[in-house]
Amino acid sequence: MTLEIRADHSLQFLLPPAIDDWVPQDHMVRFIRDFVSSLDLHVLGFAQRIGNDGRPHYSNDLLLSVWLYGYMERIRSHRKLEHACRTHLPLVWLTGMNYPDHNTLWRFWRDHKRAIRNVFRQSVRVAQQLGMVGMVVHALDGSKIAVQTASKHGLHRDVLERLNAEIEASLHTMESALEKEAGINDLSNVLPDEFRMALT
């Protein structure tokens, strides 16, 4: 009979574990946190909510971080994102064990679509500054050399413009899918103003 490793569900810690130990130092969620904290969200178009009445609201940086994690993990549905906030350990770490519901995530995305697009544009600029995107100048002299090269290594203006249009179309498709999925789940459109204020 061989020795086997089995789950010990009665395991207890002498000292409580720190939430910062839940994800490795090189995990992408740490980059998402640092990237979002480096942004000036007000300048990018995120509305600042001011008020001391009612329940505390989720901050823009927390909800934006959830959506960016979902984008990187191909989780585009606000209901699936709500589920992931409770089941994906990196996302539990990223939110600090806060669990925004799907209506909160949907309203944030609906109200900040233009600002989120600005964040995507800013991410490309950051990638360029970090050297993750190469802007190499291709020059030729009079020599004629037979070569085979992948098109991804040499993109011309017309190709880049076409790719940009495809990205815009992809974003529009994703936005339409999210709006279709929300359907009547967006209670703010069917409730009177006083109830809508209470929900938000």
pLDDT tens digits, residue range 132-189? Answer: 766 565 565 666 666 656 555 566 778 778 888 888 888 888 888 878 877 645 544 5
Predicted local confidence at residue 1, as pLDDT: 63
149, amino acid identity: T
Does residue 6 fall inside a structural domain? no
Highest mean pLDDT among 1-10, 45-54, 83-92, 164-173 belongs to 83-92
Q: Read off the tokens for 43.
A: 């300048």
Which of 51-65, 119-133, 168-182, 186-200 is predicted with the least confidence, judged by mean pLDDT? 186-200
Place of tokens 């970090």: 130
pTM attached to this predicted model:
0.67
Residue ranges making up the domain that contains 113: 21-199
Does residue 174 fall inside a structural domain? yes
Q: What is the pLDDT of residues 19-37, one digit of tens each?
A: 898 899 999 999 999 999 9
Does residue 3 fall inside a structural domain? no
Predicted local confidence at residue 185, as pLDDT: 53
Does residue 5 fall inside a structural domain? no
Predicted local confidence at residue 112, as pLDDT: 92
Residue 106 pLDDT > 60, yes or no?
Answer: yes
Does residue 132 fall inside a structural domain? yes
Query: What are the distances in angstroms from CA 71 to CA 20, 106, 174, 182, 185?
Result: 23, 14, 10, 17, 21
Does residue 13 fall inside a structural domain? no
Q: How many separate domains does the chain show?
A: 1
Q: Are 45 and 66 in contact (CB under 8 A)?
A: no
